[in-house]
Amino acid sequence: MFFIFSNIACESGDFIATDLLRKVSNLARSDTRFREAYNRLLDYCETLQPGDALPAENELSALANVSRTVVRRCLARLEDCEVILWQGREKRILRKPASADRLELPTTRAPADDLEQRFLDWILKFDVPAETPLSVAELSRMFDVPQHELKEFLAGLSRFGLVARRPRGGWILRGFTRDFAIELSEFRSVLEIDAIRKVADLPVDHPIWPTLEDLRMQHLDLKARIDSDYHEFSKIDETFHQAINSVVRNRFVEEFQKVISLIFHYHYLWNKADEKDRNAAAIEEHLAIVEALEARDADAACRAAVKHLKTSKTTLLSSLRHHDLG
Amino acid sequence: MFFIFSNIACESGDFIATDLLRKVSNLARSDTRFREAYNRLLDYCETLQPGDALPAENELSALANVSRTVVRRCLARLEDCEVILWQGREKRILRKPASADRLELPTTRAPADDLEQRFLDWILKFDVPAETPLSVAELSRMFDVPQHELKEFLAGLSRFGLVARRPRGGWILRGFTRDFAIELSEFRSVLEIDAIRKVADLPVDHPIWPTLEDLRMQHLDLKARIDSDYHEFSKIDETFHQAINSVVRNRFVEEFQKVISLIFHYHYLWNKADEKDRNAAAIEEHLAIVEALEARDADAACRAAVKHLKTSKTTLLSSLRHHDLG
DNA sequence: CAGTATGACTTTTATTATAAAAAACACATA
DNA sequence: TATGTGTTTTTTATAATAAAAGTCATACTG
């Protein structure tokens, strides 16, 4: 189709008709990239004066961060709209672009990165039971995300054993069974004990130490007013574990921590039984870890951490039992 | 279309034409399930005599392990081929099916489960460098797997940080950089030290002990003839680490071990520098671990394991350097 | 005449469209 | 009332396809 422009660009009126009047039709792929590039080129044109020459296509493509193919599509349209004159390598500004020249962009959807958070949120909030069949079509509507994106997402989750392919197509939530909770807890323990050991070995000028001291103060502060403010612990808990794990710079660990922390966070929030006592006990356990670390006693810190993680696991499991009964 | 059969099933000759003569056309989805079900129903028909009645659609669908929709499609064809008479719930065998009645099945492709193995194989065998763009189209041809399957596969691998999405679409191999090797080694160490600790705690009647004793013997045997047979170590090494890790029944650990062991295995195979010395040293290290374990000395076993894993890491890194230089 | 820019073409990717299969629904029959 | 069938709706797997990227040969320019 582009051959139309190659030599007699200024006469290609028939292209305008098919291009501009095209309905919001069956686009196999959105042309957002083209639209954004076009607007960016309009911006650039505004910095120039009528009669000025535009740089080479390659330069423009670098400018708009798209391929030359898109740039040429943009140039074609700029010419159709009589913003520029385009003939071979002669590209001249005809007039300053008006705001009416701009192309509308589709309303941006929630970023795909957010899908994980929202999905786990949903699973945990509604306590979707294990072995629930997951309908890609339904989830797609629910989260307003194209089906193929969801399938890729689920394929990723299957690597964590959270979901699995069903024998006859589709997916199921392998979900939050007792085994899953145990294995998750144990995996978490392995990673976190290692983190603790690494913290204990860090030099005195490492930023973790002021952070830990600050956390110790926060724990003491909350401990003093635990009777009324015990629900604040959930937040401190997350910060604490995040701080400990932050010293492990490892892509594999990081990937898992995201999932782990979310799951534990939620389950703690819901297990309301004995919440005050549990939190008070957890504060003591955290303090024991911090104090052992500050004393650079790695072994004591590990023992304290093992104890705390064991409590965590028990709490997680009891929260499951609670759910099963209710 | 099915309304044709509802009442005047025996006269629906025009359906036969469109159905049977249909070319290998644009199937949006393969009808393998239908074909398999059809053949299975033929098998079933063979067990009956002309004049016998077929059971309810539901029963047949349970028999062929497909939905009723497929069963009805099969019944329609059986009728078209005059194997049965079908009118409402009246379904009678007309004749024994012949081998010519069977539907051909598409030649089965390599199982998708195999894709991971083949992909990692390719990466490692050809030493595909980090930051290489991965073309789904190309890989799809290369591994003879539909594109969408590859995309799901890559999405899964991205969870391990092995590949990543490119900003402007497509994928890249984040691949085997120095950082990746370090992080992988460290992650492996964390998991394996934990496994060692678990082994040391196992009761005397656990099957791991005879396995370890057998491994010890194999190591001693190889040690005696190391000068000539040092290349045999690679296999023993894999068996050894697999045995140790097998005691950890954890879905997260298992998922990672698959990838880890493959990567280490290959890299050891290629690093030919000082192979004999390295393997001789590794045998000693393995023996130290096994002996400490058999003595139930957990701490000594861990120390030995830490030492061995450190050597492993060094070897892996030096094998990278080697590659960089060559 | 070397190096860059362009025009035409090829390949790849993202996304939609759609046949096959499953599931749901609504009668009919026994 | 319970089960079986005919029909419709929904979902899934896969192919088709426009947009975008990439490639190559040629043309122009300094």
- The band of A264, judged by pLDDT with boundaries at 50, 70 and 90, is confident
State residue B109's pLDDT score: 66
- The band of B308, judged by pLDDT with boundaries at 50, 70 and 90, is very high
The 10s digit of each residue's pLDDT in B42-64 is: 999 999 999 999 999 999 999 99
Of B159, B160, B190, the CB nearest to A191: B190
State residue A243's pLDDT score: 96
CATH code of the domain made up of A178-325? 1.20.120.530
> Mean pLDDT for chain B?
87
State residue A150's pLDDT score: 96
Judged by DSSP in three states, A171 sits in: strand
Which bases of chain D are under 7 A from a protein CB atom? 3-8, 10-23, 28-29
Q: Which of A10-19, B18-27, B174-183 has the lowest mean pLDDT?
A: A10-19
CA of B176 to C1' of C12 (A): 25
**How distant is the alpha carbon of residue A242 from its chain centre?**
17
The 10s digit of each residue's pLDDT in A218-247 is: 999 999 999 999 989 989 999 999 999 999
CA distance B95 to chain A (A): 32
Q: Which of A68-82, A185-199, B2-16, B98-112 has the lowest mean pLDDT?
A: B2-16
State residue B66's pLDDT score: 97
Equal fold, A3-101 vs A178-325:
no
Nearest to B94 by CA among B103, B86, B102, B104: B86
Nucleotide D7's nearest residue (CA vs C1') is: B3
- CA–CA separation, B222 and B216 (whole Å): 10
* Sign of the torsion formed by the C-alpha atoms of B45, B48, B50 and B51: negative
Judged by DSSP in three states, A88 sits in: coil
Nucleotide with C1' nearest the A135 CA:
D11
CATH code of the domain made up of A3-101? 1.10.10.10
Q: C-alpha distances in angstroms, B18 versus A207, B14, B22, B37, B83?
A: 75, 7, 6, 20, 19
* Percent share of chain B, pLDDT over 70: 89
State residue A111's pLDDT score: 66
State residue B110's pLDDT score: 65
**Adjacent-strand bridge partners of B173:** B132, B163
Q: CB of B75 within 8 A of CB of B61? A: no
The pLDDT of A42-53, averaged and rounded, is: 95
CA distance A259 to chain B (A): 11
The 10s digit of each residue's pLDDT in B59-78 is: 999 999 999 999 999 999 99
State residue B200's pLDDT score: 96
Higher per-residue confidence, B104 vs B24: B104
User: Distance between the two ends of chain A, CA-based, in angstroms?
Assistant: 65
Tell me if A158 and B158 make a contact (CB, 8 A cut-off).
no
CATH code of the domain made up of B114-173? 1.10.10.10
- Checking if the pLDDT of A24 tops 90, the result is no
State residue B121's pLDDT score: 85
The 10s digit of each residue's pLDDT in A139-192 is: 999 999 999 999 999 999 998 888 999 988 899 998 778 888 899 999 999 999
What secondary structure does DSSP assign to B267-290, as a single string?
HHHH--TTHHHHHHHHHHHHHHHH
Q: Let me know the angle formed at the C-alpha of A236 by A233 and A238, rounded to the nearest 5 degrees.
A: 110
CA of A21 to C1' of D27 (A): 35
State residue A144's pLDDT score: 93
State residue A171's pLDDT score: 97
Nucleotide D27's nearest residue (CA vs C1') is: A88
Nucleotide with C1' nearest the B171 CA:
C13
Q: CB of A195 within 8 A of CB of A189? A: no
For chain B, give percent helix, strand, coil, nearest 5.
Answer: 65, 5, 30
Q: What is the residue whose two structure tokens read 């629930």?
A: A132
> β-pairing, A171-173 with A132-134?
antiparallel
A126-130, B243-247, B317-321, range with greatest mean pLDDT: B243-247
Q: And the tokens for A288?
A: 């024991």
- Checking if the pLDDT of A112 tops 70, the result is no
The pLDDT of B92-98, averaged and rounded, is: 96
Nucleic strand C near CB of residue A67 (< 7 Å): no
CA of B98 to C1' of C28 (A): 35
Of A156, A190, A191, the CB nearest to B156: A156
The answer, for B178 touching chain A at a CB cutoff of 8 Å, is: no
State residue A206's pLDDT score: 97
> Mean pLDDT for chain A?
87
The 10s digit of each residue's pLDDT in B237-277 is: 999 999 999 999 998 898 888 888 878 877 777 777 788 99
* b/e map A88-106, b = 16+ CB within 10 Å: eeebebbeebeeebeeeee
Exposed (0-12), middle (13-18) or buried (19+): which is A201, by Cβ within 10 Å?
exposed
Tell me if A252 and B153 make a contact (CB, 8 A cut-off).
no
Domain borders along chain A are 3-101, 114-169, 178-325
Q: What is the residue whose two structure tokens read 């001291």?
A: A213
Q: CB of A318 within 8 A of CB of A310? A: no
CA of A240 to C1' of C5 (A): 58
State residue B258's pLDDT score: 82
State residue B124's pLDDT score: 82
Nearest to B293 by CA among B210, B212, B200, B205: B200
Q: Dihedral, CA atoms, A307, A308, A312, A318, nearest 10 degrees?
A: 50
- Checking if the pLDDT of B167 tops 60, the result is yes
* Sign of the torsion formed by the C-alpha atoms of B60, B66, B69 and B74: negative
- Checking if the pLDDT of B149 tops 70, the result is yes
State residue A285's pLDDT score: 97
* Percent share of chain B, pLDDT over 90: 67
User: Distance between the two ends of chain B, CA-based, in angstroms?
Assistant: 66
Q: CB of A38 within 8 A of CB of A74? A: yes
The pLDDT of B103-115, averaged and rounded, is: 79
Kindly state the DSSP code that residue A174 receives in the 8-state scheme.
Answer: -
Q: And the tokens for A94?
A: 């005809």
Fold of A114-169: Arc Repressor Mutant, subunit A (1.10.10)
Q: And the tokens for B116?
A: 């991971």
A114-128, A194-208, A308-322, B305-319, range with greatest mean pLDDT: A194-208
State residue A11's pLDDT score: 32
